[in-house]
Structure 1
Amino acid sequence: MTALAPISATAPQPSEATAKPVAQPFGLRIVVGMLGVLIASLSAGLNEKVTDLAMTDVRGALSIGHDEGTWLIALYSAAQVAAMAFAPWFSVTVSLRRFTLGAIAVFALLALLCPFAPNVETLYLLRLLQGFAGGCMPPMLMTVALRFLPPGIKLYGLGAYALTATFAPNLGMPLAALWTEFVGWQWVFWQVIPLCAVALAAVAWGIPQDPLRLERLRQFDTLGLALGLPGILMLVMGLLQGERLDWFESDLVTLLVVGGAGLLVAFFINEWTHPLPFYRLDILKRRNFTHALITLAGVLVVLGACSGVPASYLASAHGYRPLQSAPMALLVALPQLISLPLVAALCNIPRVDCRWVLAIGISLCGLSAFGMSQLTSEWTRENFYWLLALQIIGQPMAIVPLLMSATSVVAPIEGPFASAWFNSVRGFSAVLGSAVVSILMTWREHYHSNRLVDHLGSASQALDLRLEQLGGAENIGRLASQVRGQAGVLAASDTLLAMSWLAAALLVLTPLMPLRVYPPRPVVPAN
């Protein structure tokens, strides 16, 4: 059966058609250049994850409080998501090679400076700017894969992009343990510098140089940038700070969330009418593309909970540090280097319907979440191993088919717009997942705490006898700690169970929304 041809897009604007990039022959240089962009993209993901996990040690070394530490994480994440939205447009204008090299160089320089910040305000600025630089790199990886790779191996390039969503987050915990336990907290920031040096050399040698397309600046979407950039920053920071500040009980969170959402609504209205927008909204009319975005968001929320909740449970229930939780993350991270290419090879077989591959992947991730939801206060990391092992295959089987399905309906000239959509949803989903997990954990912990206290109150005579056996009322604190601990275990169980239901909902969408697509193949010229 012949390959499904990409659905034609609306005709490009004149400014888009006048400076079409010249086709480049595929060879060793392209492979090296793409590896450079991959290393840079993984560095950006590692920088966010490792800094988050090692924030306790960073705060202690820099003498900053818990609240200041949360803003360091929020500023970096917000800037990263915002940059993912606008980077593809600028890369087309100044050229892919120039833009990528500039982002990598700025990212590494800011990493070098962060440990030397004289005060927390300066560190805020450095992390904000580094977030912008880091967010520019993952969209470039997708752009390189779509533009330079031949059809027969394009799926392997998309599989490499999937590493930024599956491999890098799971590698964060082992690296955080390595730097804080054995080397030095400064390497939480400096770890990316050697990787960026390699990436700079690879990109400079391997990625072809396109001409400048400064004529695009005459149609620059100034209003879109003025609305979208602060809108994304405000909304992401509001979601990340909401749980700590009690959501809409806080005027600041209300301003950030409501104001950010309002700016984004105005931004998308503007994008619909602008001749050279940052986002092409008409792409969402394509069922496969919209389904891929929805499912990607849900899958990343599930995967984030399946990695974050067990680590949080082990830290609170058994006092695990990142070093003790690192084997769980490594169990999922390292096999991705083998399983992702294998899944790409499977999806590259024309007889294989990638919708079935997607369904199996979502099922494995949902089964992993459901199994983890059976945890008790006796569980240690060994109890999670076989459940996490399901994600070794489940994660790539959920991500690679989505990339294949989405890109199959996108014409080459639409690559930057597809990259903006896909990376923005990917970045925002990680933030949304963190907020959803925090809300569920807090809500269910309060619920179970009240239930346990009511249960103890109904047995007040037995409770008084128990306190007397423990040595009197001075041990009430010990009993309260036990109640909080059990409530935390039950809350973690409920949260993971909710993730399994989310996976089931995503599974229902798979046979309903996307159309079957076939792996990309070269177009055979007619005789």
Structure 2
Amino acid sequence: MTTANPLTTGTEAATAPQALEPRPVREAAAPAQPAPAQVAFTGRIVVGLLGMLFASLLAILNEQVTAAAMADIQGAFLIGHDDGTWLTSLFEAANVATMVFAPWFGITFTLKRFTIGAVLAAMLFGLLCPFAPNLPTLYVLRIFQGIAGGCLPPMLIIVALRYLPPKFKLYGLAGYALTATFGPALGTPLAALWTEFVSWRMAFWQIIPLGVLCCIAIQQGLPADPVKLERFRTFNWIGLITGFPAFAMLVTGLLQGDRLDWFESDFICLMFGGGALLLVVFLVNEWLQPVPFFKLQLLERRNFTHGLSTLLGTVILLVGVAAIPGQFLAKVHAYRPLQTAPLSLLLAIPLLITLPLTAALLNTRRADHRWVIAIGLSLMFTTCALGSFMTSEWIRDNFYGLQALQIIAQPLVIMSILMGVTTGLPPTEGPFASAMFNTVKTFAAAIATGLIEGVGTAREHFHSSMLVDQLGNRALVAGPGLDYPYALGQLAHRIHEQAVVLTSADLYRVMACVALVPLLLVPVLPVRIYPPWSTTPPASK
């Protein structure tokens, strides 16, 4: 039996061009924007696309490297752990909230001008951060840098959909996938390089050479579109006023929740309660708006809905499988970033090969993206299941096998998600899809951090209590010549070590459950699609 092509018929009817047009009622209020003129695919366009790719990587590296080097940054500024957590929280909150609105401003001020402006702003704030005279000034600089960084990744999907021919679209999306896989994996190695051998300031300044290269490539490669300032006449002010604080408050609550004891803190209750209320208002407004930031009607497409829901679980998995080994090795064996860097490099470098290969696989008519994503999620589940058997004797070498599975699993899942979300999507819908996709991606990373910290703290306390209870009725006998307080200290260290091991195993089990949820959605929600260059299903045999 021949499977219906969702680009033309079937349950994925929303993918058809007529279903993607605004509803007649909305057309009367705000006429649809004309599709941008097709630009010839030349070498200059390739240079511009590479500039956009490097700009997105710049934003990811700026985020990941500063987070990995935060201990050295705190030491340089003589600030404590609690104050240091706000450097990450404020940056992430501004970063996530900005991605909601960046595509709209990118179209209004043109992709070329807007991206170059955001890169220059990120470079400027990064240059100034090490010279901040006090902590409040550093907080403000990090907020502005988060806003600038949040403008960059959404632009890459838009230009890929607009400028790449159908035959090359999946390869362009493979470049975007680097920002979700390759970029974060480079965070720890680069942080180790700068802090161990150069200077902690390079955690902020590393983006400057790459930023200059990005600006030159984008300026020379991308065509200059006219500025569309008339779009401000229909600007969605309610969406901005409700959406920006909503996402910022929710991210802040997730990242500060564990430190402030979650709902025992009035501040966290305010962040979650106020953020959730504003988010509801924002989503209702977006549904009714003729010119929204989020086009929620895209969720009528089954593959788009499946892509976003699977992306949520996948990003949680990516953050989890990267964070658990590093935390375990640091707490149990006192590894520094330089010693955990080989784990990240083992994953990052092969991705430069497996991502294009996965794109080539999905670019054939035979490949079914549903099977591809199912295989990838199964490998992720296997990784977490194997990790749950860890012991205190595990060292860095024991994690190499788990990372090897991720080299295959991550491209299979991420590329299949991107294919499902973007196939059949016209360039005029690209900004809406980019805003929703990137916001879900970065928000899921905040959820993953909150989940790992919250579950990790709770389970570590539980295991510590259980281990102490088991020793409660056993007399502590110090050996000959051993100091009794010293023996107590050794015992406390062993209890803490074992609690960390058990907690890490529990976190792997939680990640395995997370992998199962999108895996169970595969036979239910998505429908068969074909590569962007293919508009009709293959003939029945």
TM-score for both structures, normalised by structure 1: 0.96
Note the alpha carbon deviations across 1:229-266, whole angstroms, 9 max, x for none.
01111110111000011111111111111111111111
Matched, 1:207 2:218: no
Give the superposition deviation at 1:19: 5.1
Aligned position for 1:283: 298
> For the Cα contact (< 8 Å) 1:339–1:393, is it kept in 2?
yes
* Aligned partner letter, 1:513: L
Distance 1:18 1:256, change over 3 A: closer
Of 492, 501, 504, which aligns to 1:489?
Answer: 501
Matched, 1:147 2:162: yes
Of 177, 180, 184, which aligns to 2:195?
Answer: 180
Matched, 1:512 2:524: yes
> For the Cα contact (< 8 Å) 2:51–2:214, is it kept in 1?
yes
Give the superposition deviation at 1:296: 0.8
Matched, 1:164 2:179: yes
Give the superposition deviation at 1:468: 8.1
Aligned residues: 521
Find the aligned partners of 2:306 and 2:234 in 1 and give their Cα distance: 31
Find the aligned partners of 1:497 and 1:75 in 2 and give their Cα distance: 30
SS for the counterpart of 2:416 is: helix
Find the aligned partners of 1:44 and 1:464 in 2 and give their Cα distance: 53
Distance 1:9 1:241, change over 3 A: same
Note the alpha carbon deviations across 1:18-77, whole angstroms, 9 max, x for none.
554222111111111111011011011111111111111111111112111100001111
Of 40, 54, 64, which aligns to 1:25?
Answer: 40
Of 506, 510, 514, which aligns to 1:502?
Answer: 514
Aligned position for 1:113: 128
* Aligned partner letter, 1:182: F
SS for the counterpart of 2:100 is: helix
Of 334, 358, 361, which aligns to 2:376?
Answer: 361
Note the alpha carbon deviations across 1:435-482, whole angstroms, 9 max, x for none.
111111111111111111111113x2xx33358885325532321221
Aligned position for 2:454: 439
Find the aligned partners of 2:486 and 2:235 in 1 and give their Cα distance: 68
> For the Cα contact (< 8 Å) 1:3–1:520, is it kept in 2?
no
Give the superposition deviation at 1:300: 1.0
Of 97, 113, 117, which aligns to 1:102?
Answer: 117
SS for the counterpart of 1:184 is: coil
Find the aligned partners of 1:24 and 1:13 in 2 and give their Cα distance: 27
SS for the counterpart of 1:57 is: helix
Matches within 5 A, 1:30-49: 30-49=45-64
Matches within 5 A, 1:236-315: 236-315=251-330
Note the alpha carbon deviations across 1:211-239, whole angstroms, 9 max, x for none.
12222111111111000001111110111
SS for the counterpart of 1:17 is: coil
Aligned position for 1:9: 20
Matches within 5 A, 1:371-450: 371-450=386-465
Aligned position for 1:370: 385
Find the aligned partners of 1:466 and 1:294 in 2 and give their Cα distance: 55
Find the aligned partners of 2:20 and 2:131 in 1 and give their Cα distance: 49
Distance 1:489 1:523, change over 3 A: closer
Matched, 1:349 2:364: yes
Give the superposition deviation at 1:497: 1.4
Aligned position for 1:225: 240
* Aligned partner letter, 1:9: L
Give the superposition deviation at 1:184: 0.5
Find the aligned partners of 2:302 and 2:395 in 1 and give their Cα distance: 43
* Aligned partner letter, 1:262: L
Distance 1:469 1:301, change over 3 A: farther
> For the Cα contact (< 8 Å) 1:346–1:352, is it kept in 2?
yes
Find the aligned partners of 2:535 and 2:254 in 1 and give their Cα distance: 46
Note the alpha carbon deviations across 1:82-112, whole angstroms, 9 max, x for none.
1111101111111111111111111111111
Distance 1:183 1:16, change over 3 A: farther
Give the superposition deviation at 1:205: 0.8
> For the Cα contact (< 8 Å) 1:289–1:409, is it kept in 2?
no
- Stretches of structure 2 that go unaligned for 5 or more consecutive residues are 8-14, 537-541
Find the aligned partners of 1:113 and 1:343 in 2 and give their Cα distance: 40
Distance 1:19 1:98, change over 3 A: farther
Aligned position for 1:478: 490
> For the Cα contact (< 8 Å) 1:286–1:409, is it kept in 2?
no
- Stretches of structure 1 that go unaligned for 5 or more consecutive residues are none
Aligned position for 2:11: none
Give the superposition deviation at 1:4: 4.6
Matched, 1:56 2:99: no
> For the Cα contact (< 8 Å) 1:3–1:519, is it kept in 2?
no
> For the Cα contact (< 8 Å) 1:43–1:196, is it kept in 2?
yes
Stretch deviating more after TM superposition (390-399 or 449-458): 449-458
> For the Cα contact (< 8 Å) 1:303–1:365, is it kept in 2?
no
Find the aligned partners of 1:479 and 1:18 in 2 and give their Cα distance: 69
> For the Cα contact (< 8 Å) 1:231–1:260, is it kept in 2?
yes
* Aligned partner letter, 2:532: P
Find the aligned partners of 2:202 and 2:494 in 1 and give their Cα distance: 37
Q: Percent identity?
A: 52
CA RMSD of the aligned region, Å? 1.6
Stretch deviating more after TM superposition (126-135 or 504-513): 504-513
Of 97, 104, 121, which aligns to 1:82?
Answer: 97
Find the aligned partners of 2:177 and 2:132 in 1 and give their Cα distance: 34
SS for the counterpart of 2:186 is: helix
Stretch deviating more after TM superposition (479-488 or 391-400): 479-488
Find the aligned partners of 2:378 and 2:182 in 1 and give their Cα distance: 20
> For the Cα contact (< 8 Å) 1:4–1:408, is it kept in 2?
no
Distance 1:444 1:226, change over 3 A: same
SS for the counterpart of 2:101 is: helix
Distance 1:508 1:469, change over 3 A: farther
Stretch deviating more after TM superposition (404-413 or 464-473): 464-473
Find the aligned partners of 1:21 and 1:120 in 2 and give their Cα distance: 45
Find the aligned partners of 2:507 and 2:143 in 1 and give their Cα distance: 31
Find the aligned partners of 1:500 and 1:255 in 2 and give their Cα distance: 32
Find the aligned partners of 1:410 and 1:18 in 2 and give their Cα distance: 15
Find the aligned partners of 2:126 and 2:382 in 1 and give their Cα distance: 39
